Every structure is written in C-alpha cells, then in structure tokens.
Amino acid sequence: MDGYREACLLGDSFDPNGVVRMREDEYDSRSGSDNIDGAVSGDDQDANDERRRKRKKYHRHTPHQIQELEIFFKECPHPDDKQRSELSRRLGLESKQVKFWFQNRRTQMKTQIERHENAILKHENDKLRAENSVMKDAISNPTCNTCGGPSIPVHLSFEEHQLRIDNARLRDELHRLYTVTNKFLGWPVLPFVNHSSSVSSDSCLELSVGRNGMGNVSNISDPIPMGLNLGNGLFNGGPVMPISKSQMGMPGNDIPIDRTIYVDLALAAMDELVKMAQIDTPLWVRSRDSSGKETLNFDEYSRTFPSSAAMQHTNWTTEATRDTTMVIINSMALIETLMDANRWAEMFPCLIARATTIDVISNGMGGTRNGSLQLMHAELRVLSPLVPVRTLKFLRFCKQHADGLWAVVDVSLGEGADADMFFSCRRLPSGCIVQDMPNGFSKVTWVEHTEYDETVVHQLYRQIISWGIGFGSQRWLATLQRQCDCLAILMSSTEDPAGISPHGRRSMLKLSQRMVDNFCSGICTSTLHKWDKLVVGNISEDVKMMARNSINDPGEPPGIVLSAATSVWMPVTQQRLFAFLQDECLRSEWDILSNGRPMIEMLRISKGQGLDNRVSLLRANPMNANENTMLILQESWTDISGSLIVYAPVDAASINLVMRGGDSAYVSLLPSGFAILPDGPSIYASTNNDKDGSIMSDINSGYAGGCLLTVAFQILVNNLPTAKLTVESVETVNNLISCTIQKIKVALRVS
C-alpha cells in the first residue's frame, strides 16, 4: 500500500477508542520487533529496551514549520507522496514527520468536531430533562386556579396539564410586570387584583393577561408616557416615541422582584443622561480652545439634579466632560458594539484593559437592543504606570428613543451588596446619544461623569485627570473616530498602495493590534495579564518594574520577560514630540536598535485619513548589499487626545508569511514604545528650559506648553523560564529607560 493510501486510511477511518495518537514531537515509527507478542528472554528484552532508548527521537516543530503546515492543511488535508516530499524538503523535515503531522492533525480535527457535537447533544438532553422535571412537578402538585390551593386530583389530559402550566406562568408574569411598571413610573404599588374569582367557574383555564391592576380590561401595548421629550433641543427629531409596557423589553419572568432596583436605577440614569446631553449653558462650560470640549458646571448640576448630587462621595474628586463628533458608522452597528463586552473592548483597545458581562438582566425586544440591560465589569486605563487602573462594576442600559436615535447609559451600582464598595472610583450616569446621519455616518454625543479617589493618582497626573484628559469624553470619541476610520479602510474595495493583498493587510493589522495590546498590558496591569511586580532598592518609585515567565506562548519567545515603564513631563508639545519619535530618519538619535543608522520605511499600511495613523515595517539602512539587517514592526497614531508609537523587532521569514495572509499568532513579539498625553499651559515655559523658544512659540500659537511622555520596554532577559531574575538585569533595563529619555531631551534641546 503506498504512502498516500496509508495516510488516507489512517485519517478517514479514525476510531477514538482504538487509536493511540502520537505525540507531535515524537515521530519515529517502531520496528516490527518492538510489537511482537510472546515470551522473550531477559537478555533479549534488555537488548530491545536498550535499542529502543537509543533509537527514540524527539523533535519539536518550529513556529515557522507549524505555520506552513497549517496553511497547507487548510488547502489539502490529504497530501500525496509528492506533496509530502515537497513539504519535507522545503521545511527541512523528514517525509514521515510530515505524514504523521497530517495524520495527527486530521485526528485532532475529527475529535474536536465530535466533542462539539457531543456538547450540543448533551445540552439538548439536559434541556429536555429539565422540562420533563418541571412537567412532572406540575402534574404531581396541581393547584386550583380560583383559590390557589391544592386541587382535587382528577384525570387530566397532557394538553390540559400543559395549559395549566402556561396559565400559572402567564399569571406570574402579569403580576411581576404590574409591580415593576408601577415601580418604574413612581406609582404606588397597589395590591394585585386576581380577576379569576369573578369569572364563571365553567372557565377552568381562565387567563387574566388582558386586565390591568385597576380592574378594567386593557391592551398590554397601551402607551405609557415616560416623561422624556427631546423635542427641538439637541436632536431636532420631533417628539419621542412613547414607551409602552411591552416596549420595556423586560418581562417579569426575566427579572425577579428583588432585582427590579437595577431597572429603576437604569431608567433614572437614562433620564439624567438625556437631559445632560440636551441642556447646554449654564450646565456645561465650553473650552476656549479649538477642541470644543465642554466641562460640567458642578453648582448648576447640583441645582438641576439635587438627588444625584446628594449621593456623591464627599472626599472624592469629580470629573465630567461632554463632546460631540461625527463617526463613519451607523447607529445600529455602534449600539451592537457597545452592548457586546468583547467588541466594546476591541473598539477602545488603549482605554479598556478588560471588559466582561456579569449578568444579562434583559436582552431587549424584537430582536434589537432596545430595552437591553446588562451588569458589567470593566477595567479602564491611562497608559502610564503612575495612574492606577480604574475598576468598575456598573449597569449598561440601551434605549431607542426614536427612529435612528439611540442612547446607551452606564451607572455604577449604589449602596448595597452589589455596590462598588472596594473600588476607588464610581461611574455616575455616563454614556452616549447616537443619531443616524446621511451617508452612513452617525452623530455621537458623549457624556463622561465619574468620581474617584484622587489620592491614588500620582501628583504628576492629578491635574490632567481632573480635566478629563485621561478618561474624558474627548478621548473616548477620538478613539471611536480613529477605529471607525480604520474599519472603513479595511472594508473599502480600493487597492492598497503598498501592493499587499487584502488578506495580507488584515494579517498585518492583526499582528500590529496584538503588539499594541501587549505593550499596554506591560504598562497597566490588569486581571487579564499576570505580571509579578518587582521592588528594587536603588530603582526609583516612578519606574514600574514587572516580570513574568513566558512558557508555551507562540506569540512570545520563551524565557523571563522584564517590563519597565515610567512617565516624565517633557517641555515640548505633543505634536512636536510625536513628529520627532515617528521620523525614521531621526530614529538613530534615541533608538539603540538602529545601531546609529537611519531607518528606511519598507512598507506602510494606512489606518486612517491622516498620514500619521499607520502601520510600518522599518529596516536599518544597510552598510552593504549583503548585510542582513533586522526588521521592525511599528504602529503609530495621533489625535487630539494623545499619541502612541509602539514597535517590536520581527523575524524576516515570519513577517513575509504574515504579509502573504498567514497566521500571525506564531510571530514572536516583545513590544516597546511611547505614549504621549497633552498637558495644559505650563509654568515651565517661563524657565530656562526653553532654550530655543519653541515652547513659548507653541503656547502663543494656541498649543499647550508641554506633554507627559510614558516610555516602556519589554525585554527578554533570560531564555530559560526556570532561571532566576538578577538585579543586574533589572538595573540594565532601568539604565536603558533613563538613557533613552536623556537622548530624547538632548535631541530636542531641552533639559
């Protein structure tokens, strides 16, 4: 039997009970003498064991080999002899290694499919068992619909039993909906009237869903005014559609009575958000610069919302901002993104360290997010080791107020067991109003209102955090606008100027996004990425040192990874510092990886409308044609809320595979880079630090006098995960940060 037929038989006739899968790194086949049953002498047995030990080989495929095999497997799961020989020659493997890898891969895929099918069948079986149990209980314990007591056992058909169960469920739903509705609207909760007693006893399965609590027959879809009138204010959309009982999207079976406080809090927060988005002066004070950002007048807020103001923490600092912009995304797509925790985190990667949905209280109604209410957990960050991550537990409520007009509000839980008792911040009613505009655009008004413990923030960042530069509405909208522009470019049919294929462009952007995520996690620790914090006596407290062991992660080299980050104030503008760090011709003035030579941009993938938002592939200018220089993958962007430059050295062979559309998960990355936040006009402009007069010139031109620079490195200090981290390694990385900052200051002629 030839090799191709043998591989097909082994792969297609796989029996999970009769085949032992080979380990991927053990590829040699056993000889016939190893498998002969029968009695052998002790000497022969020892000799056989010795031969097996000598002959036993172990081999671990490299990430490059695995990636090539995976790409080929997607196209042809059953290669013939010729194809296997070609693969083995190209990858430097033996033919039987390739043969066994494909056998194991087909077996693995078949096992995964069987597991998935078994899980589905098990879920359906458990569901049927639960329904059967409920029906048995209902049959064994019948109740009287009139008095609620136990009924006299009589012979009932299955259909009658089912109708009794449905009747009890609908009665309970009506009772809960009545209670919740009155509570939402602030009406007194009167005793629920059971109308079945007034119905003739001939109707033993009477349903009272069509009656209200006042004893009158009514339609459950009768409109209930909610008191929200956007009118001719911010939205210019006419009167708002009234909300009916059925439009609340929160049936009684989904919300127990003890959780109705969540809905009450969500509706109050929605009402406050709409008013804060609609009212202008004197509630909001517009900034005098060109940004258009608005800050809250807290005295006016206390008068407008006295109950909310009375609940604020007395010893905490409050920040509140509002901003409006146009984004290239329709309202439905944006709402779906905001109501999905994973997609929300992907849309704001540098702002959200982690986001999860704890509980879904309501899924909405009519297949939309209208009336959706969720309990969520999030960790928000500013890219600096001097600003702790903000941990929040909050409700997120979505409501459609009119056709093409949506609102999403967040509010932290108040007092009680679910409140943010151990958190250092609290999210007051915050969120966005989204209105559809022509040509696929949306008008987004974002309100950000938070109170927090200022003592946990470093003195260097306290003022700009209170201004809303770190977590304010302007940063949320700038990130949203930048991400939407990138998605629009990805979905466009225009050909990339770099000549890279659409699949290659997506793979490159996916690799770059992973690089940025790893960079952010090395600055701000979260529960998603585990780092061990290091405390070294001669290292400044402003330098954050962390370490972790990288084991079995194809996206990182194995060993001990050391992360170091710090933040400093720079007496130059954000725009000037970003332009200097992004310029590949000036990179040799601060980057040790350039070896003192300028860099050449080999590839550029645009991520936005401007030239500054891009992913680049850089290479040091070679001294001669035969020199093999290192490649650097870099992503950079800048907007009014800040700037980011992240880079990492990459292997040439791996990056070529990614550019052809290959899987980027096997490319090892250890990112480093810079995060820049703008600062307000500074007193440092009047000092001798402004040697060339550039700072004062920037201030006179309307720009801020400085910025806050975060420098971070991730370095492999030992390629053995079991090795111990030495003090010398920590001091070396600390000196690297200090030297880089000093080189930047010297190049910019500031001290």
Asked whether residue 341 falls in the same domain as residue 427, the answer is: yes
pLDDT the model gives residue 692? 44
Asked, for residue 285, whether it belongs to a domain, the answer is no
pLDDT the model gives residue 516? 95
Helix or strand run (H / E) with residue 453: none
Asked whether residue 474 falls in the same domain as residue 509, the answer is: no
Average pLDDT, the chain: 77
What dihedral angle (degrees, nearest 10) is formed by the CA atoms of 21, 25, 30, 35? -40
Residues 6 or more apart whose Cβ sits within 8 Å of residue 569: 460, 679, 682, 684, 706, 707, 708, 709
What is the C-alpha to C-alpha distance for residues 430 and 396, in angstroms, rounded to an integer? 10
Q: Determine contact, residues 620/627, Cβ cutoff 8 Å.
A: no
Residue with tokens 């500054």: 612
Asked whether residue 462 falls in the same domain as residue 322, the answer is: yes
Provide the 8-state DSSP code for 74: H
pLDDT the model gives residue 174? 78
pLDDT the model gives residue 723? 83
Asked whether residue 514 falls in the same domain as residue 478, the answer is: no
In the structure, what pLDDT confidence band is assigned to residue 700 with cuts at 50, 70 and 90?
Answer: very low
pLDDT digits (tens, 9 = 90+) for 589-620: 998 877 777 888 999 998 887 778 999 999 88
Asked, for residue 212, whether it belongs to a domain, the answer is no
Helix residue ranges per DSSP H, 305-458: 306-310, 331-339, 341-347
More confident residue, 185 or 493: 493
- Residue finishing a domain among 457, 491, 525: 491
More confident residue, 635 or 526: 635
pLDDT the model gives residue 182? 60
Specify the number of domains making up the chain: 3
Identify which of 584-588, 645-649, 723-727 has the greatest average pLDDT. Answer: 645-649
> What burial letters (b/e) apply to 641-679, b meaning 16+ CB within 10 Å?
bbbbbbbbebeeebbebbbebbbbbbbbbbbbbbbbbbb
pLDDT of 326 higher than 90: yes
Residue with tokens 């720079």: 570
Asked, for residue 194, whether it belongs to a domain, the answer is no
Asked, for residue 109, whether it belongs to a domain, the answer is yes
Asked whether residue 506 falls in the same domain as residue 611, the answer is: yes
Q: Show the tokens assigned to 599.
A: 């860099």
Tally the residues of the chain: 751
| CATH at 595 | 3.30.530.20
Asked whether residue 466 falls in the same domain as residue 341, the answer is: yes
pLDDT the model gives residue 686? 33
Residue with tokens 């169960």: 165
- Residue finishing a domain among 463, 491, 519: 491
What SS3 string covers 573-608? CHHHHHHHHHCHHHHHHCCHHHCCCCEEEEEEEECC
**Lowest-confidence segment of 128-142, 318-332, 348-362 by average pLDDT:** 128-142
pLDDT the model gives residue 366? 82
Asked, for residue 225, whether it belongs to a domain, the answer is no
pTM value is 0.65
**Lowest-confidence segment of 79-83, 129-133, 215-219, 631-635 by average pLDDT:** 215-219
Asked, for residue 741, whether it belongs to a domain, the answer is yes
Strand spans (E) along 229-312: 243-244, 284-286, 294-296
Asked whether residue 354 falls in the same domain as residue 420, the answer is: yes
Asked, for residue 692, whether it belongs to a domain, the answer is no
Q: Determine contact, residues 548/537, Cβ cutoff 8 Å.
A: no
Q: Determine contact, residues 71/656, Cβ cutoff 8 Å.
A: no
pLDDT of 32 higher than 60: no
Q: Give the residue numbers spanning the domain of 562.
A: 502-681+704-748
Phi, psi of 678 (to 5 degrees): -70, 155
pLDDT the model gives residue 687? 33
More confident residue, 635 or 308: 635
What dihedral angle (degrees, nearest 10) is formed by the CA atoms of 74, 79, 83, 87? 60
What is the C-alpha to C-alpha distance for residues 618 and 659, in angstroms, rounded to an integer? 14
Asked whether residue 472 falls in the same domain as residue 565, the answer is: no
Q: Show the tokens assigned to 725.
A: 């981290």
Crossing angle of helices 63-75 and 95-140, rounded to 10° = 70
Q: Determine contact, residues 517/541, Cβ cutoff 8 Å.
A: no
pLDDT the model gives residue 54? 52
Asked whether residue 721 falls in the same domain as residue 581, the answer is: yes
- Residue finishing a domain among 56, 88, 120: 120
Asked, for residue 303, whether it belongs to a domain, the answer is no
Residue with tokens 């039993």: 161
Asked whether residue 452 falls in the same domain as residue 351, the answer is: yes
Asked whether residue 467 falls in the same domain as residue 539, the answer is: no
Asked whether residue 543 falls in the same domain as residue 476, the answer is: no
pLDDT the model gives residue 283? 93
More confident residue, 223 or 348: 348
Please compute the mean of the pLDDT values over residues 189-211 and round it to a whole number. Answer: 38
Q: Determine contact, residues 555/512, Cβ cutoff 8 Å.
A: no
pLDDT the model gives residue 227? 33
| CATH at 114 | 1.10.10.60
